[in-house]
Every structure is written in structure tokens, then in C-alpha cells.
Amino acid sequence: MSLTDRLRRERVIAIIRGTDTKAAERTVHILREEGIALIEVSLTTPDAAGIIARSSREAGDTLIGAGTVLTGDDARAVQQAGAAFVVTPALAEGSLTAHALGLPVVAGALTPTEIVRAVSEGASAVKLFPASVGGPAYLRSLREPLPEVPFVPTGGVDADAAHAYLEAGALAVGVGAPIMGDAPHGGDPDALRERCRAFLTALTRHREGE
């Protein structure tokens, strides 16, 4: 199954951006246990490549990807670590290198020009970032001339915003703090489990309303 198909099925990429390696790795395990199947580990997290490598070995059907991939060296490092996909915050060398290496890319873009370029460079989906700048109304406007682009709005997306973006035609959403809280920094793992369940429940309600 392609990354685009998985995004369509799962509807959410959970984004881990932490300051504590052990806590971030524990967060990956908890997300998997709670049923979140697309997980992005930002390279701003200490030992992100190591977390990806160790987590990927036991990931099963879960896809562990790398986020904040900016350079060609970043892309090569995460490929060696076993990343299943790459996410970039903007159009950068990292997205081109990852695509050349055969990794699916969710490329960051905001303007129509950037979005068209991301698609032309082979992105599997476009990370609309920061989505909070324009909100769901902006996504609707973009989809009028670009209806075939698979958008993944990211930035300031909580459960309510996720519903609004999906209603506006997003393929999936990227979600960080509203699910993670302080878990990747050493926070309460039980609270993380509760947030995961609440978010997945909200997604289920959205699917039932489609």
C-alpha cells in the first residue's frame, strides 16, 4: 500500500518532537500500542535516527517516518535508519534526495507556487504548513484549482481543527502537541494514552459522519 493510501486510511500522522531520547522512544511505543499507525520522529529530537532505527525493527504495520528532513545528508541518514517516509517543513534538498532514494515524501509547502513545485518534484503528499496561517478556509481555496493534490495540513491542528480540515478535503492531518503534550520531554505516559484515545475517537466520529 502506498503512503498516500495509508494517509487516506489512517487520516493522521502523529509528530514527535522531543528533548529526551528515552521519553521520545517511549512515546513511539505508546502511540503504536494505542493504534496510531503513522508516526513521524522529528530530526530535532536527540538521536532521532537511532529512535527510528530501533522503533522500525518492531513496528509491524506501523510506519515510522522522519520529520524535519532538510538536507541530503539528513535524507541519507534516515534512509539508513529504516525510515518508512520523510516529512519536510519546506521545499529543500532533503525532499529531492529522499525521493531519489525511493522514500515517499510529504513535502512542506504553503503557497500555490510551492505546492505545484512539491508535486512536480514527486511528493506523495503536500504538508500544508503552517496550516494555521489560513485554516480550513485557505485549504478550500487551494483545492478549487488544485483538487487532485493530497494535502496534509500541519501546525496548530487539534481534534476540532482536524475535523474541519478533513471536511475541507484534506487527505490527512499532521498533529503534534495536541496528542503529544509533554510526553516526548518526559511527561506522563498515561495522559498521552488518554489524548491518543480521544483523538482517535474524534477521527472515528468524523468517518462515521462522512
Helix, strand, or coil here: 13?
strand
Q: How much is the average pLDDT of 118-137?
A: 98
* pLDDT for 205: 82
CATH code, domain with 102? 3.20.20.70
Q: How many CB atoms lie within 10 A of CB 26?
A: 18
* pLDDT for 209: 73
Q: Which of 33, 93, 114, 127 is catalytic?
A: 127
* Known catalytic membership, residue 40: yes
Cα–Cα distance, 115 to 100 (Å, whole number): 19
Q: Which of 40, 114, 121, 144 is catalytic?
A: 40
The sheet with strand 38-42 has its strands ordered as: 125-128, 105-109, 86-87, 63-67, 38-42, 12-16, 173-175
Proportion of the chain above pLDDT 70, given as a percent? 99
Per-residue pLDDT band for 206 (boundaries 50, 70, 90) equals: confident
Average pLDDT over the chain, rounded to an integer: 97
Q: HSE (CB half, 13 Å, CA atoms) of 93?
A: 5
Tell me: the pLDDT tens digits for 66-114?
A: 999 999 999 999 999 999 999 999 999 999 999 999 999 999 999 999 9
pLDDT at 210 over 70: no
Q: How much is the average pLDDT of 172-199?
A: 97
Provide the domain limits for residue 91.
3-204
The cell numbers describing 42, all together, are: 522529528
* pLDDT for 111: 98
Tell me: the pLDDT tens digits for 143-180?
A: 999 999 999 999 999 999 999 999 999 999 999 999 99
Instruction: Tell me which residue of 101, 105, 102 sits closest to 85, measured CA to CA.
Output: 105
* pLDDT for 24: 98
What are the DSSP calls for 82-106, one per residue? T-S-EE-SSS-HHHHHHHHTT--EE
117 domain-assigned: yes
Cα–Cα distance, 132 to 106 (Å, whole number): 18
210 domain-assigned: no
71 domain-assigned: yes
Q: How much is the average pLDDT of 20-44?
A: 98
Helix, strand, or coil here: 122?
coil
Instruction: Tell me which residue of 5, 11, 61 sits closest to 208, measured CA to CA.
Output: 11
Q: What's the number of domains the chain is made of?
A: 1
Helix, strand, or coil here: 108?
strand
The cell numbers describing 41, all together, are: 520522529
Q: Which of 28-32, 50-54, 77-81, 206-210 has the lowest mean pLDDT?
A: 206-210
The residue with cell 528532513 is 69
Q: How many CB atoms lie within 10 A of CB 143?
A: 15
209 domain-assigned: no
* pLDDT for 47: 98
40 domain-assigned: yes
